[in-house]
Amino acid sequence: MTGSIPGSYLLATFEGGGSVAPKITLARKLLARGHAVRIMSDACNRTEVEAAGAEFVAWSAAPSRPARGREHEFVDDWNMPTAFDGFCLMLDRMLVGRAADYAADVRMELARKPADLVVANDMLLGVMLGCESVRQPFVAVACNVMPYPIVPGIPPMGPGLTPAVTPEDEALHAEVRAGTMATFDAQLERYNALRARFGLAPLEHLVDQVRAAQKFLLLTTQAFDFTPDTLPDFIEYLGPQMDDNLWSQPWVSPFASDDTRPLVLVGFSTTFQNHASILQRTVDALSELPVRAVVTLGGSIRPDEVRAAANTSVVDSAPHNVVMREAALVITHGGHGTVTKALLRGLPQLVIPHGRDQFDNAVRVTHRGAGLTLDPSADTAALRAAIQRLLEEPGFTAQAVALGTRIREEAEARCAAGRLEALATLNTCRAA
């Protein structure tokens, strides 16, 4: 404990790949400081939440996946023609379509057991609405870069834009930002009708729901993100929360201890993005190189869908933080967790984004010279050539080390649990 007054925290999230593990890391840090912590999420997250020592509460009215795997996916955004179509589907079915259910669940849980602070996943607008309707203090927390077009100077999420430098860049950013706002606002009338049901005033824009939060907190660093010189007070960076939460047993390498071939870690999404084919092509490319590789399926791809090569170990999962200690290269879909872990280890990356925030994470790596990116349709020859470049050209590793050092220094200066404490204490003082 730190001597702070014990508080009660409710962390609300969902099974969405990288949206759970950072919350469990936060929970563990709050628990270590003597606080009571609950995590509301899908039923499939119970084991890992309780292993961390937190109380688990499953969604009831809101979607609650009983297990991981494609047959339990709630929003099959991977099955859409483009990443933008996938985003629109998620907006329709989850952010707005199930907002009333998330609101009802969080209100019911707060009635059962009050909380000093609710930590709401940035995608769960319904949780924010529910908190607002009962005047429950809450913060919105993103496990990646800024997902909403509300901060001037941060490129709007989606297509993987670099920082604006020229007037042409500025015009492109403005066009994408306006298009993103229009996409959100296509759901505004529907969402405002829901707010009226909960006794709340209408919003001018759908993204204004997040402004009901005390703060919008980003579990990444400014060193990784593209940020302007000055940020609104509403926005804060707390640093990445990167524990390997499920691993309690020592990792045993599948390779001999005297095997000196460079180790490549291949880790794609833990949610299904129809990525078995690109995984197989990656294994085939690696099979022709003097390397050894660990390929993690993440529970989203079945073992019979990827054929291992002689130099490749295909496993369901592995503790990335541990495996990366030996690795020379990481090949990933571009999820924020894997990308950041690799940078903190100073590892160059081949990023193969499929959608969601992955194009934006990829460009933050490539723009700094810390890796390369390819389309998921890349053939074996293109994959092999990119892997060879990353292993043979030292500039990529040097830039990964430099960027990773900046991220680590900023992260070490942050105290995410302490910041949540301060916000909860402020609420207690106001209530008194």
Span 175-180, mean pLDDT? 95
Span 52-72, mean pLDDT? 89
Same domain, 307 and 423: no
Q: What is the greatest pairwise CA distance in the chain?
A: 67
Same domain, 110 and 126: yes
Portion of the chain with pLDDT greater than 70, in percent? 94
In a domain, 255, yes or no: no
Model pLDDT, residue 1: 40
In a domain, 16, yes or no: yes
In a domain, 246, yes or no: no
Span 391-408, mean pLDDT? 98
Average pLDDT of the chain to the nearest whole number: 92
What number of residues does the chain have?
432
pLDDT of 175 over the 70 cut = yes
Band (pLDDT 50/70/90 cuts) for residue 75 is low
Model pLDDT, residue 290: 97
The residue ranking higher by pLDDT, 183 or 85, is 183
Contact 30, 417 (CB under 8 A): yes
Q: What is the pLDDT of residues 111-169, one digit of tens each?
A: 999 999 999 999 999 999 999 999 999 999 999 999 999 999 999 999 999 999 999 99
Contact 244, 319 (CB under 8 A): yes
pLDDT of 413 over the 70 cut = yes
C-alpha span between 286 and 81 (Å, rounded)? 29
DSSP letter, residue 250 = P
Same domain, 272 and 209: no
Counting Cβ atoms within 10 Å, is residue 243 exposed (0-12), middle (13-18) or buried (19+)?
A: middle
C-alpha span between 114 and 103 (Å, rounded)? 15
Q: Three-state DSSP class for 54?
A: coil
In a domain, 2, yes or no: no
Contact 255, 313 (CB under 8 A): yes
Contacts of 23 (CB under 8 A, 6+ apart): 11, 13, 39, 41, 119, 121, 141, 143, 241
In a domain, 168, yes or no: yes
Same domain, 198 and 220: yes
The residue ranking higher by pLDDT, 131 or 77, is 131
In a domain, 3, yes or no: no
Same domain, 273 and 227: no
How many Å is the Cα radius of gyration of the chain? 21
Residue whose C-alpha is closest to residue 273's, from 142, 86, 97: 86
Span 202-207, mean pLDDT? 98
Helix axis angle, 188-197 to 125-133, nearest 10°: 30
Model pLDDT, residue 415: 95
Same domain, 98 and 173: yes
Span 291-296, mean pLDDT? 95
C-alpha span between 309 and 295 (Å, rounded)? 11
Same domain, 294 and 223: no
Contact 374, 303 (CB under 8 A): no
Tokens of 357: 């925030």
Same domain, 104 and 204: yes
Phi and psi of 107, rounded to 5°?
-65, -40
Same domain, 291 and 364: yes
Same domain, 348 and 305: yes
Number of structural domains in the chain? 2
Model pLDDT, residue 16: 79
In angstroms, the Cα distances linking 272 to 78, 198, 335 are 7, 34, 13
Model pLDDT, residue 3: 47
CA dihedral of residues 97, 101, 106, 109 (deg, nearest 10): -160
In a domain, 251, yes or no: no
C-alpha span between 106 and 59 (Å, rounded)? 9
C-alpha span between 331 and 335 (Å, rounded)? 11
Tell me how crowded residue 343 is: count the other CB atoms within 10 A of its CB: 31
Question: Side chain identity at 290, as an amino acid letter?
Answer: P
Portion of the chain with pLDDT greater than 90, in percent? 79
DSSP string spanning 272-309?
Answer: --S-HHHHHHHHHHHHTSS-EEEEE-TTTS-GGGSPPP
Tokens of 18: 């990288």
Model pLDDT, residue 74: 66
pLDDT of 178 over the 90 cut = yes
Domain residues for the domain of 288 are 263-410
Residue whose C-alpha is closest to residue 23's, from 418, 422, 417, 427: 417
Same domain, 185 and 81: yes
Question: Which of 65-79, 102-116, 304-318, 349-363 tops mean pLDDT?
Answer: 102-116
pLDDT of 367 over the 60 cut = yes
Contacts of 395 (CB under 8 A, 6+ apart): 369
C-alpha span between 376 and 40 (Å, rounded)? 33
- pTM for this one? 0.93
Question: Which of 9-23, 33-47, 86-100 tops mean pLDDT?
Answer: 33-47
C-alpha span between 405 and 132 (Å, rounded)? 39
Instruction: Give the CATH number for residue 99.
Output: 3.40.50.2000
Same domain, 227 and 325: no
Contacts of 426 (CB under 8 A, 6+ apart): 214
Q: What is the pLDDT of residues 305-336, one digit of tens each?
A: 999 999 999 998 888 889 999 999 999 999 99
In a domain, 351, yes or no: yes
DSSP letter, residue 325 = T
Could you tell me whether strands 138-142 and 36-41 are parallel, antiparallel, or unpaired per DSSP bridges? unpaired
